Amino acid sequence: MSTVYKIGVDGGGTKTECILVDASGTIIARHLAPGCNPNVVGPDQARLIVTDALVALTSSLNLQLPAPTGSVSATLLFMSGLPGFWSEFAASLTDFGRVTAALDSLPTLELATHGAPGLVIHAGTGSFVAARAPDGTIHYAGGTGWRFGDPGSGYELGRRAIARALLELQGWLPASRLGPTVRDHTPLGAAADARAITRYFYSHAEPNRVIAALAPAILRLAAEGDHTAHQVLIESAGELVELATRVATKLFPGTPLDTVPTGLSGALLTNATVAAALTPRTPLPLTPITAPPIEGVRRLLARGSP
């Protein structure tokens, strides 16, 4: 008997994760590919990554199940960067059922609110606030990309840490562990000064990637009790939480904000130290999300629509 399947894709700047589910919502096949944000890898490479990933996903299904394996009825693409680009890409696909492109914020919003009104605050490679208003409409705030801020994101955290470390190395701020940590993130050696480190980051072929890669070290310093690293974390994530509070105030007028479901998503915001420090900064009930975004994709596939 032929079975009908659905495909879900979570396409971000770091990775592209694909799942294929059966009618009961059980995951039959998975495929992991590199990041596909066209703002980072370029439009041509983004198309290639996702197309190859979809082919690999359905090929793995054919290997796992005896023929006839069935057909794909629908594919949902939850993608970062350039919504218009992804809508055109979705329209160009064949052999993957009805293909729909949507924002990559929707799976994490699903995990935070289970389809009900509420918010999610996400900080990963990039950052954003997504919300479902009481009337069911979806709203998006922030997410303007690494060039324009993305508070709380890996890039913004790395940028703030480097800026602080350079002033320390120049002698204008008290020395902390940030200076050596930033220096060790370069190949310049222990004798490198602020000027050499500045040149390194400005001349790097992929500055956004190398700066964002500093974020795990800042998280580690904060977890070890380093006050300066902790402050950098809270300053960056605090801007994102303030944005979420403004969004909630506008979308839920007259509703006590402490009753609006609000999820925290991403390694930075779900860090226990950061989450505890952010709680006093907003009336929103911040709840860390432990499930990965691809689980949100699976739930949206089961519901049948974004």
- DSSP secondary structure, 136-201, as one string: S-EEEEE---GGG--TTSHHHHHHHHHHHHHHHHHTSS---THHHHHHHTSSS-TT--HHHHHHHH
ω before 288 within 30° of 0 (cis)? no
Environment class of residue 257 by beta-carbon count within 10 Å: exposed (0-12), middle (13-18) or buried (19+)? middle
Among 156, 147, 157, 183, residue whose Cα is nearest residue 168 = 183
Cβ-contact 54, 96 below 8 angstroms? yes
pTM of the model: 0.81
Q: What share of the chain is helix, strand, coil (3-state, %, to 5)?
A: 50, 20, 30
Question: Does domain 4-104 fall into CATH 3.30.420.40?
Answer: yes
Among 1.10.238.10, 3.20.20.80, 3.40.50.1000, 3.30.420.40, name the CATH number for the domain at 109-291: 3.30.420.40
Beta bridge partners of 11: 16, 79
Are 47 and 89 in contact, with CB atoms under 8 Å apart? yes
Distances 120 to 13, 124, 256, 282, 288 between C-alpha atoms, Å: 19, 13, 17, 14, 10
Predicted confidence at residue 273, as pLDDT, reads: 79
As a whole number of angstroms, the longest Cα–Cα distance in the chain is 73
Q: What is the pLDDT of residue 65?
A: 52
CA angle 92, 97, 98 (to 5 degrees): 70
Q: What is the DSSP string of 9-41?
A: EEE-SSEEEEEEE-TT--EEEEEEEE---HHHH
pLDDT tens for residues 175-223? Answer: 999 999 999 999 999 899 999 999 999 999 988 889 989 999 998 998 8
What are the pLDDT tens digits along the chain (306 aa)? 567 899 999 998 889 999 999 988 899 999 999 999 998 889 999 999 999 999 999 886 665 555 445 688 999 999 988 889 999 999 999 889 999 999 888 999 999 999 999 999 998 877 899 999 999 999 999 877 777 878 888 889 999 999 999 999 999 999 999 999 999 999 999 899 999 999 999 999 988 889 989 999 998 998 888 999 989 988 888 999 999 999 999 999 999 999 999 999 988 888 887 888 889 999 999 999 999 999 999 999 988 765
258-289: b (≥16 Cβ within 10 Å) or e: eebbbbbbbebbbbebbbebbeeebbbebeeb
Q: Give the pLDDT score at 67.
A: 47
- Same fold yes or no, 4-104 and 109-291: yes
Res 23: pLDDT: 86
Rounded to an integer, what distance in angstroms lies between the CA atom of residue 13 and that of residue 40? 7
Cβ distance 108 to 289 under 8 Å?
yes
Boundaries of every domain in the chain: 4-104, 109-291
> How far is Cα 95 from Cα 117, in angstroms, rounded to an integer?
34
